[in-house]
Amino acid sequence: MPDIVVIDYGMGNLRSVQRGIDAAGSPTRIITEKDGLRGADAIILPGVGAFRDAIANLAPFKQGICDAAESGVPLLGICLGLQLLFTRSTEGGSYPGLDILSGTIQPFPKGRKIPQIGWNTLTIVDAGNLLIRGVPDGSYVYFVHSYYAQVEREKEVVAMTRYGIDFPSIVSRRNIFATQFHPEKSGKTGLRILKNFVDIVKR
Amino acid sequence: MLATRVIPCLDVKDGRVVKGVGFQRLRDAGDPVELAAYYDAEGADELVFLDVSASHERRDILLDVVKRTAEVLFIPFMVGGGIRSIHDIREILYHGADKVAINTAAVEEPFLIREAAEMFGSQCIVASIDVKRVYVEDERLAPGKVVLDTPSGKCWWDVYIYGGREAVGIDAVQWAEMAAALGAGEIVASSLDFDGAQQGYDTIYLREVSKRVAVPLIASSGAGNPQHILEAITVGKADAVLAASIFHYGTYTIHQVKEYLATHGVPVRLE
């Protein structure tokens, strides 16, 4: 069994993420200290809440996550975990992210209910990405967010979703994967995505 | 495209479902865990537990049920009823709920919403508002209230707390706006006039709240058939619809309601 760690840095309940991976066929280890990253076969970075608090809480893990990402360890960012991977966020000011992916976290333009809460569809743009193997175009997944990633490199976008504007709902580069939605709350589609991630880790 | 959510609500008392025991396919329809799994499989977009236990001392039973239910669900899970404090919110979330609905405590201490939203994030703090119409001859008789025309006459909407037992005397439309401004991520709008009657939702009230409040609105109270649900969305401008009896007594399945909505142009998640 692979050693998949879920980083607990005080931003939300991790149990549902853990259950999701569990249902996908692998146990997980929740870690609260950076030493826990050592020897991990994969890292999951979940999170809900404000970017500023999250990046501050995540500080002790920063080097470890970046080193692991660089060395090819599969990494999955979920929701706020996706946003943290980017260069910077404009939420509540201007805060630097982990800068593993290039881009800026921006607020949705006005004109719609914010946050976006609910099930929205994936428009798949990179059907070859292993994270979405067996996930049909147009599948519904569950979102809760007020900000989105404006990516610098279009080729890192795996799927887009429309909410007033088109925003990246899945991004990926090599061993880095991230979803703006919550796969652990997205029914069968979400479980399939988590299973795909576990399969990527096992390869 | 964002789908309109269809959300069944289960009343849970002392760890048992007290409404919706009409299912013959289930081994134990009073078991919240079994019913939750059933609704998940049926295509519910989210699930709500409303704890209607008479006494707060039965909290441990509720928490156990929340925990066991969260273990089988892979859709969002909201829990409401009797939530009084940050401590209560933390306990419910810790046991696996994704959202908590706060009603009476938020009216009595509005800053609970702000404190909770800052601590846990707006995405998990839902303001649940119970209302009843107060009819007036003339809007001048209700200064400071949002008075609208209805087929039954002019009225404003008073907020009720303690499970609908106590009128507060504050305007519900304005309270919804304030709750959102304080940090509630969603509003559940229920009506004592319309609840249980199965004659349709209070679409005039819903529409006003939806127009004024920047966060998603979950319509509640009054569904008797799929057309009522459609009207809550098209006329009431709700972002999600919550219903109890219509599903519990097996009158319509969630899938049937969604198919009806889809044929009338409402985007829904059908899988």
Q: Which two tokens stand for residue B168?
A: 């507060």
A 10 A CB-CB count for B264 gives 12
Tell me if A160 sits within 8 A of A168, measured CB to CB: yes
ipTM of the predicted structure? 0.91
- A110-123: average pLDDT: 94
Comparing alpha-carbon positions, the chain B residue that sits nearest to A165 is: B1
- pLDDT-based confidence at residue B20 (cuts at 50, 70, 90): very low
Q: Which helix (H) or strand (E) holds A149?
A: strand A147-151
- Which of B74, B94, B122 is the closest to A185 by Cβ? B74
CATH of the domain at A167: 3.40.50.880
Per-residue pLDDT tens over the stretch A120-135? 999 999 999 999 999 9
β-strand pairing of A75-78 with A176-179: parallel
Task: Give the whole-angstrom CA distance, residue B156 versus residue B139.
Answer: 9
What residue numbers bound the domain in which A70 lies? 4-202
- CB contact under 8 Å between B123 and A191, yes or no, is no
- B158-172: average pLDDT: 95
Comparing alpha-carbon positions, the chain A residue that sits nearest to B181 is: A114
Fold of B5-263: TIM Barrel (3.20.20)
- A27-41: average pLDDT: 95
- CB contact under 8 Å between B76 and A185, yes or no, is yes
Percent of chain B with pLDDT over 90: 79
- B21-40: average pLDDT: 74
Q: What contacts A77, CB < 8 A, 6 or more positions away? A: A45, A83, A84, A85, A176, A177, A178, A179
Number of domains in chain A: 1
- A71-86: average pLDDT: 97
Per-residue pLDDT tens over the stretch B89-119? 999 998 999 999 999 999 999 999 999 998 8
Comparing alpha-carbon positions, the chain B residue that sits nearest to A54 is: B121
> What is the per-residue pLDDT for B17?
86
From chain A, pick out residues whose CB is under 8 angstroms from the CB of B217.
113
- CB contact under 8 Å between A117 and B239, yes or no, is yes
Q: Which two tokens stand for residue B193?
A: 């006039």
The residues of A assigned a catalytic role are: 79, 182, 184
- Residue of B68, B74, B99 to mutate, testing the A interface (most A Cβ within 10 Å of its Cβ): B74
Percent of chain A with pLDDT over 90: 91
Per-residue pLDDT tens over the stretch B216-251? 999 999 999 999 999 999 999 999 999 988 888 778
- CB contact under 8 Å between B2 and A118, yes or no, is yes
- Residue of B269, B270, B271 to mutate, testing the A interface (most A Cβ within 10 Å of its Cβ): B269
The residues of B whose Cβ lies within 8 A of any Cβ of A are 1-5, 40, 45, 70-71, 74-76, 93-94, 96, 98, 120-124, 185-186, 214-217, 239-240, 269, 271
Alpha carbon separation from B7 to A191, B133, B249 (Å, rounded): 21, 25, 15
- B85 pLDDT more than 50: yes
